[in-house]
Structures are given as C-alpha cells and as structure tokens.
C-alpha cells in the first residue's frame, strides 16, 4: 500500500484518486481552489471515457448526463447542414459505450463522489482545499514530498502532478521551464450557458430547444478561423456554447475562468452568422473569455517518484472534445499500473509502463485537438513521431474511430501482462462489467455540403460487447 499525494483535484486528479484508491493505495489530494465555483461550462464524455465511468458504477441519470444523439456541422450563414458526424447510437457503435454531454461541475462532482465516498473499495480519498502546491521534492527515495504555499511539507511514497497547463510538476519532471504557446488556428475562446427555459420564453428562440436537444452542432467558418459549438447538458435544461476564433492582437496569457466580457463582444464577433444564431447568443447573461494555450507533447511523463496526469502532461484545446476523457484514461491506467507496487524500483518500473501506455496516444490527440476534425489532415506531419503513418487519422470518421474505439482498460492490462504474465485486477476494482470495443469500423459520416473535406462513410451493425476483466 502506497501513500500517494496528488497535486490538483480537477478531473485528472480525481480520476487518478479513484483508480489508485481501488488499487489499494491511500490517496490525499491538495487543491488550490475552494471547489465552490461552477466553472468551465460543459464537457463531453465520449465512449472511451464513459466505459470507465460505467464500469466504476456511475449511473448517468444520477449526474444528469445527457445521452448524445450525434453531431453535425452547419453552414454558419444559412444554418444548412454540411456534414453529419453520426446519429443516435453511432458513437456507441464505434466505442461500445454511449457518449454523454455533461455540465463540467456535474462530472467533477461525480468523480469526487467516486474518490471520497465511504462505500466502495479501498480507503476514501481526502481532499484538502485552498492548498496550493508550491514545490515538489521527489528524488529522495526516503522522503518524496510537496511543499504548500504556506510552507507546510507533506511527505508521500509517490507524488502525482495534476496541476494543469501551467504545471510546476511538469517542469520538475523535465527539469526546465515548460512554455505554453498560442495555437495557430484558434487562440481565444468564449464560453457561456443559456437555460432552455430562457429560450422557451421567446417564440423567436424556443425552436433551439428542439433542434439542439441531445445533439452537438458545430457552425464553422474556416476562412475567418471562427466556429461556434453548442450542445445541451443537465437533462437538456441548459445549452452550452463555445465560440472559438483567432485574434492576432491577443497577447499570450493565463486562463482566467472568471474573466467575464459583455454579451455585445461575442455578438459583434459572430454578427455575420445567421440572424437566428445571433438572436440566441443575445440571450446569454454571463460570457467568459480566456486565451487558449497549447504545449508541445512532453518527452517524458515521470521522473523518480513524480508522475504527471491530465493537462499537466498534455493540455488540449477543445476541438476534439477529448481533454476530460484523456484525463480519465490517465487516471485509470495509472491505478492499474501501480496495483501491487511497493518498492521504489517497482514503482519506477510501473510508472514506465504507465508512460508507455499513455504518452503516444495522448500526444496524438493533443496535436489533433489544435484544429477541427474537418481540418485534421493539416496536422499529419506533427502526428507522425507518435503514430505510424498508415494509422494517422485524417478525417472525422477516422478520428472518431481512433478516439472512441480505444479501450484503456484492456491496453493497461495487456501492458502489465507483458511484464507480469499473471497480472490480474481484484474483483472489486470495477463495480460493473466493462463494455468492450466492437470490431473496428469507421463511423457513418454523411457529407451534405461541398465546403468540408470528403469523409469515408461506412456503417456497422456490430454492437457493444461486455468483457470479463480479471
């Protein structure tokens, strides 16, 4: 049993806490915020992440997750559909598990419940709020530790850095400063929520509640590097909006989730979009704006008794909707990799296995997240160091297959069994059967316009399979 300290209690930190707890370790998380503010708007939970949550016993209805019924791209000036990325159940046909849409706080509370509840396997994790980590000490095998901003030193057997894009832990692992840079396609993001009830009150906007129900819609204008992404969350009672654009005059800065701007600013930014879209945008009350930041993939994710997860390892832009999912995959794999670890040498070997499973996959998605799925072919050269050329996804169908059709549970088990042939998980590591990935296929993509690149279309009748994990 290890005493594990996690710096950061966001999605990645909490997912790691859940998995490490189930692997039999004692976990304490140190979070700089009070965890009281609803920030970050909404988030997608694609099949590659939902299979993990479902196996951990999560009941989506308890957390007001919305079952996604496909996604489509639309001309921002006519609102005409230009491409279908799939219909109800198409994501599940690829990944075996459903895709959900969630308020970020609902997902965060779900993971917090899994990590800290009294019931369930292992010792409940403990979260220390308002506890900012200022320094990491991890080379001394007898006394790895973190130092809080108030000077308090906390010792542990292992330290997990889940401290975000401006990660001190990443700099400690690499032993040099890790710079965030402005991406080339979209460097600014607006986020806002509009209650469905507000749109319902106005006869001119209430139809949005029907067309946007349980479905993601994307309104891209690639010539001006702008796109609006919208979908519902919280039992379809709230609409989430993300406005992405490129501003040459914007200075590189740090994210401030609480930085509000006037609604008129975003209206002006998208004023030439269809009048109906502009009318809906005007219903927003609280619009947040912050810079989008990118980091190049890291060469390593661990050093001595310090390991990285989530944005600390691979900050992602929102174009692929995989940031939270990759954090959940990280946490899951870290826990499996450290099951039964005790000695320093064993821990370091297991961290190497974790990195081998996670680094290349997350790096590919990190790079592809710089741009919309309809433009992915532009990034092929950047992806090549992390994936064989014939496996690089270059269109929406291939990207969804790569993202959704991956089983992190099976990947972690196979990696562990290459090192320890008899490796198995305890019976209580999962509460439910793990839903496996169906036979590989491309998602059905229907191209209805001429403005987006061609996507290979294919369908399958293969359904999800429940697999036994031991």
Active site residue 231: yes
pLDDT-derived band at 470, boundaries 50, 70, 90 = very low
Q: Specify the pLDDT at position 377.
A: 64
> 348 pLDDT exceeds 90?
yes
In terms of CATH architecture, what is 188-291? 2-Layer Sandwich (3.30)
pLDDT-derived band at 444, boundaries 50, 70, 90 = very low
> 23 pLDDT exceeds 50?
yes
Q: Specify the pLDDT at position 38.
A: 54
Q: Taken in order 449, 454, 460, 465, is the CA torsion positive or negative?
A: negative
Nearest C-alpha neighbor of 157 from the set 137, 143, 136: 143
Helix axes 396-404, 344-368, angle to 10 degrees: 160
Helices (H), 97-182: 104-116, 168-174
Q: Specify the pLDDT at position 253.
A: 53
pLDDT-derived band at 36, boundaries 50, 70, 90 = low
User: Higher-confidence residue: 179 or 255?
Assistant: 179
Check 30, 100, 190, 231 and give the catalytic one: 231
Query: Rounded distance, CA 107 to CA 222, Å?
Result: 31
pLDDT-derived band at 445, boundaries 50, 70, 90 = very low
Q: Specify the pLDDT at position 39.
A: 63
Q: Give the helix, strand, coil percentages of the chain, each rounded to 5.
A: 35, 20, 45
Which region among 204-218, 305-319, 445-459 has the lowest average model confidence (pLDDT)?
Answer: 445-459
Q: Specify the pLDDT at position 375.
A: 62
Which region among 37-46, 54-63, 407-416 has the lowest average model confidence (pLDDT)?
Answer: 37-46
pLDDT in tens, 187-245: 899 999 999 999 999 999 999 999 888 999 999 998 998 999 999 999 999 999 999 99
Q: Specify the pLDDT at position 273.
A: 98
> 452 pLDDT exceeds 60?
no
Rounded mean pLDDT, 110-136: 97
Which of 221-230, 369-378, 409-418 has the highest mean predicted lDDT (pLDDT)?
Answer: 409-418
pLDDT mean across residues, the chain = 89
- Where are the domain boundaries for CATH 3.30.9.30 in the chain? 188-291
DSSP per-residue letters across 381-449 = HHHGGGS-GGG---SHHHHHHHHHS--HHHHHHHHHHHH-TT----TTS-SSPEEEPPSP-PPP-EE-S
> 341 pLDDT exceeds 70?
yes
Rounded mean pLDDT, 416-430: 96
Contact present, 55 and 22 (Cβ < 8 Å):
no
Helix axes 323-337, 47-55, angle to 10 degrees: 50
> 396 pLDDT exceeds 70?
yes
Rounded mean pLDDT, 159-168: 95
> 462 pLDDT exceeds 50?
no
Q: Specify the pLDDT at position 403.
A: 95
Q: Specify the pLDDT at position 249.
A: 75
Contact present, 215 and 71 (Cβ < 8 Å):
yes
> 254 pLDDT exceeds 60?
no
pLDDT-derived band at 162, boundaries 50, 70, 90 = very high
Which of 17-26, 66-75, 209-218 has the highest mean predicted lDDT (pLDDT)?
Answer: 17-26
Q: Specify the pLDDT at position 248.
A: 80
Please state, as a whole number, how many other Cβ atoms lie within 10 Å of the Cβ of residue 418.
11
Rounded mean pLDDT, 288-293: 87
User: Higher-confidence residue: 392 or 113?
Assistant: 113
Contact present, 333 and 308 (Cβ < 8 Å):
no
- Tell me how far CA of residue 410 lies from CA of 2, 90, 114, 413, 448, in angstroms: 24, 22, 21, 5, 37
Rounded mean pLDDT, 351-380: 86
Helices (H), 284-407: 323-337, 344-368, 380-383, 396-404
Active site residue 130: no
3-68+97-178+298-427+437-449 under CATH 3.40.630.30, yes or no = no
Q: Specify the pLDDT at position 374.
A: 61
> 75 pLDDT exceeds 60?
yes
> 41 pLDDT exceeds 90?
no
pLDDT-derived band at 140, boundaries 50, 70, 90 = confident
Q: Specify the pLDDT at position 464.
A: 40
Q: Specify the pLDDT at position 319.
A: 83
pTM of the model: 0.91
- Where are the domain boundaries for CATH 3.50.50.60 in the chain? 3-68+97-178+298-427+437-449
pLDDT-derived band at 292, boundaries 50, 70, 90 = confident
Check 21, 22, 168, 191 and give the catalytic one: 191
User: Higher-confidence residue: 246 or 412?
Assistant: 412
């Amino acid at each position: 049993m290890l005493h594990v300290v996690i710096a950061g209690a966001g999605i990645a930190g909490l997912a790691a806490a859940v998995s490490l707890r189930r692997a039999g370790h004692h976990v304490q998380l140190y979070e700089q915020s009070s965890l009281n503010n609803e920030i970050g708007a909404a988030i997608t939970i694609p099949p590659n992440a939902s299979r993990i949550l479902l196996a951990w016993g999560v009941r989506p209805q308890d957390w007001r997750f919305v079952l996604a019924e496909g996604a489509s791209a639309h001309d921002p000036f006519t609102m005409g559909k230009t491409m279908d990325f799939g219909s109800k159940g198409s994501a599940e046909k690829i990944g075996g598990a459903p895709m959900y849409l969630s308020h970020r706080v609902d997902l965060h509370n779900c993971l917090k419940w899994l990590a800290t509840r009294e019931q369930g396997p292992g010792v409940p994790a403990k979260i220390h709020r308002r506890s900012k980590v200022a320094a990491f000490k991890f080379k001394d095998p007898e006394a790895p530790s973190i130092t809080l901003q108030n000077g308090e030193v906390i010792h542990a057997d292992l330290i997990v850095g889940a401290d975000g894009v401006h990660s001190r832990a990443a700099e400690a692992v690499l032993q040099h400063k890790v710079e965030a840079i402005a991406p080339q396609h979209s460097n600014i993001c607006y986020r806002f929520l509009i209650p469905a009830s507000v749109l319902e009150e106005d006869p001119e906007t209430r139809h949005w509640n029907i067309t946007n129900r349980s479905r993601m819609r994307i309104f891209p204008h690639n010539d001006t590097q702008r796109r609006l992404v919208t979908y519902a969350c919280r039992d379809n009672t709230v609409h989430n909006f993300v406005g992405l654009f490129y501003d040459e005059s914007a200075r590189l800065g740090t994210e401030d989730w609480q930085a509000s701007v006037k609604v008129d600013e975003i209206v002006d930014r998208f004023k030439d979009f269809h009048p109906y879209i502009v009318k809906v945008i005007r219903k927003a009350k609280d619009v947040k704006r912050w810079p989008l930041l990118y980091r190049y993939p890291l060469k390593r994710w661990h050093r001595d008794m310090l390991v990285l997860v989530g944005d600390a390892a691979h900050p992602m832009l929102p174009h692929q909707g995989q940031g939270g999912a990759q954090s959940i995959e990280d946490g899951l794999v870290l826990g499996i990799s450290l099951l039964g670890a005790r000695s320093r040498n064993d821990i370091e070997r297991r961290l190497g296995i974790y990195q081998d499973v996670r680094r290349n996959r997350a790096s590919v998605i990190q790079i592809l997240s710089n741009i919309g799925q309809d433009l992915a072919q532009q990034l092929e050269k950047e992806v090549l160091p992390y994936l064989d050329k014939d496996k690089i996804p270059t269109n929406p169908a291939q990207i969804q297959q790569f993202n959704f059709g991956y089983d992190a549970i099976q990947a972690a088990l196979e990696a562990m069994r290459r090192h320890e042939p008899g490796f198995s998980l305890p019976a209580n590591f999962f509460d439910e059967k793990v839903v496996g990935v169906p036979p590989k296929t491309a998602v059905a993509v229907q191209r209805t316009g001429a403005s987006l690149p061609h996507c290979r279309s294919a369908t399958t009748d293969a359904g999800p399979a429940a697999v036994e994990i031991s």
